[in-house]
Structure 1
Amino acid sequence: MSYIDGFILAVPTANKQTFTEHADRANRFFMDQGALRVRECWGDDVRDGKQTDFRKAVQARDDETVVFSWVEWPDKATRDACGAKMEEASKSDERINPEKNPMPFDGMRMIYGGFSPVVELDA
């Protein structure tokens, strides 16, 4: 079974195009390292919850949009190998170099983690 990295973040709504370009560049690095699929999803129906919700989780402000993203890997070993390469590659690969491709959002409020699927259904 595959392995999934999941992300939730708040992006200034005015930075949608900048974010899209940043994500496209960075995600091409992941694809080159063996990722099977990447999805960046711009929130358009993210409702407020009574106790918690996506917006509260990333402390989204009124001028920010919640983004839900994931990277699908063939397995955890491929994902871990990419992670090990990232620090060194960030010095020479401008797609993931923070000076050449800066994050257009507050990375301190990003939530992310790795997940092992327990159910997979395809059409």
Structure 2
Amino acid sequence: MSNYIDGFVFPISRVRLNEYKCLAEAAAKIWKEHGALDYCEFVGDDMELAGTRSFTDVLKATEDETIVFGWVVFDSRETRDLVNQKVAADPRMADLIEVSNSGFNAERMAYGGFKPLVETSTPNA
């Protein structure tokens, strides 16, 4: 259990979800090219559980928005720091954001780095 994870969650316009998906697919390739082990993003489907606050509520998403939840896996925090520096300096990332019509707004994103606590995944057979 030595991996390190960057996790993130943000709202995105439902009508721009396909444009955002194209942006995310291209960004995932860049992250993995620079050393990430895995890159995953999921779109909200069942966002309510009685007795809890939903991501929709916490992020103040509008009726026209959905929630994207994702993470990037690295072999260590040190690798994560290096990979994120490389990604930030990669001109393709700025180009992706500039030409994308996805409506992605980093200021509405919640983000953090996470070290392992509990892991119960089963290795592939």
TM-score normalised to the size of structure 2? 0.85
SS at match of 2:111: strand
* Larger CA deviation: 46-55 vs 29-38: 46-55
* Percent of residue pairs bearing the same amino acid type: 32
Q: May I ask how many residue pairs the two structures share in their alignment?
A: 119
Provide the rounded CA distance (Å) in 2 between the counterparts of 1:102 and 1:77: 33
Residue in structure 2 matched with residue 85 of structure 1 by the alignment: 86
Per-residue deviation, residues 56-113 of structure 1 (Å, max 9, x unmatched): 2211000000111011111111110022223322xx32xx113244653222111000
Structure 2 residue 116 is the aligned partner of structure 1 residue 117: yes
Shift in CA distance, 26/55, structure 1 to aligned 2, threshold 3 Å: same
Deviation at 1:33, TM superposition (A): 1.2
Shift in CA distance, 4/82, structure 1 to aligned 2, threshold 3 Å: same
CA contact (8 A) 1:59 1:109 kept: no
Q: Match of 2:117, as an amino acid?
A: V
CA contact (8 A) 1:73 1:79 kept: yes
Structure 1, unaligned stretches of length 5 or more?
none
Provide the rounded CA distance (Å) in 2 between the counterparts of 1:80 and 1:18: 28
Q: Match of 2:110, as an amino acid?
A: I
Deviation at 1:119, TM superposition (A): 1.0
Provide the rounded CA distance (Å) in 1 between the counterparts of 2:65 and 2:50: 17
Structure 2 residue 111 is the aligned partner of structure 1 residue 108: no
SS at match of 1:99: helix
Residue in structure 2 matched with residue 54 of structure 1 by the alignment: 55
Structure 1 vs Structure 2 CA RMSD? 1.8
TM-score normalised to the size of structure 1? 0.86
Residue in structure 2 matched with residue 21 of structure 1 by the alignment: 22
Per-residue deviation, residues 23-45 of structure 1 (Å, max 9, x unmatched): 00111111011111111101110
